[in-house]
């Protein structure tokens, strides 16, 4: 079954909120500051090819980039190509990626994706959203990572836990702070962020979320975005 793309909303999803054009202008100011704060912001997952980035991104689910970066060298050394990964013994892959958690399902997704890539795309990782999300273990978040980071295509915005949290705190989404639907948050971000900045902004927000705007104790006093952030100095522990 073909998975549908999210359709950007034409109007804000809630009445009485910040006007659309005002939100867009504030977003532009936030992006300008992010460029100054994190000019080199990029994906923290180590990779040398589209296949490696795809595998690393699948492994990063419910894990940390640091943990993934520790296991992928051995994985990529043993299985350097899509062909070799497609023919891998699941038990061997599970043993290597065990520290990342959910290793059985991730192994199934990785080997399944490699098989699909070889069977349908000549062993080359596809370059379109529609093709990527048809691969086992690949949804929009993973596809956006591949398209934006490796293929340099701004087809969407990566929404992980950091981006989702900061989108709410910075009021770049119209959804409530309890809204966890990444696709809905992505729809809002695609409206207010300039398309050319979709990939950079996601990377920069992830860096900022890890270093300053942390989940439990955001460092509002030292945050250069605090004058543009409606949640600055109002953190309630949620």
Q: Which two structure tokens, joined as six digits, stand for 227?
A: 């004058």
Kindly name the residue from 24, 153, 160, 177 that is annotated as catalytic.
160
Q: Are 97 and 71 in contact (CB under 8 A)?
A: yes
End-to-end CA distance of the chain: 37
Angle between helices 198-211 and 20-37 (to 10 degrees): 70
Angle between helices 103-121 and 90-97 (to 10 degrees): 130
Give residue for tokens 């409606």: 230
Instruction: Tell me the helix, strand and coil percentages in the chain, rounded to 5.
Output: 55, 0, 45
Residue 3 CB partners (closer than 8 Å, separation 6+):
133, 134
Dihedral over alpha carbons 141, 146, 152, 156 (to 10 degrees):
-20
- Among this protein's residues, is 160 annotated catalytic? yes
Kindly name the residue from 141, 184, 188, 197 that is annotated as catalytic.
141
Task: Look up residue 58 and give its DSSP letter.
Answer: H
- Among this protein's residues, is 141 annotated catalytic? yes
Exposure b/e, 49-70, CB count within 10 A at least 16 = b: ebbbbbbbbbbbbebebeebbe
Catalytic machinery residues: 141, 160
């Amino acid at each position: 079954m073909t998975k549908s793309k999210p359709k950007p909303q034409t109007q804000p999803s809630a009445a009485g909120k910040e006007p659309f054009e005002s939100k867009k202008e504030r977003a532009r100011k936030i992006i300008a500051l992010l460029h100054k704060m994190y000019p080199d912001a990029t994906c923290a997952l180590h990779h040398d090819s589209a296949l490696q980035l795809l595998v690393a991104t699948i492994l990063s689910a419910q894990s940390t980039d640091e943990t993934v970066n520790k296991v992928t060298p051995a994985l990529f050394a043993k299985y350097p190509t899509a062909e070799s990964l497609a023919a891998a013994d699941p038990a061997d892959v599970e043993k290597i990626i065990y520290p990342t958690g959910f290793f059985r399902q991730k192994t199934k997704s990785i080997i399944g994706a490699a098989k699909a890539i070889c069977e349908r795309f000549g062993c080359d990782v596809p370059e379109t959203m529609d093709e990527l999300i048809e691969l086992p273990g690949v949804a929009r978040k993973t596809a956006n990572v591949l398209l934006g980071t490796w293929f340099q295509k701004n087809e969407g915005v990566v929404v992980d836990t950091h981006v989702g949290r900061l989108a709410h705190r910075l009021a770049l989404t119209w959804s409530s702070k309890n809204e966890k639907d990444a696709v809905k948050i992505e729809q809002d971000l695609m409206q207010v962020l300039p398309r050319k900045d979709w990939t950079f902004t996601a990377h920069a927000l992830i860096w900022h979320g890890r270093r300053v705007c942390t989940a439990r104790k955001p460092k509002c006093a030292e945050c250069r975005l605090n004058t543009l952030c409606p949640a600055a100095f109002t953190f309630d522990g949620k």
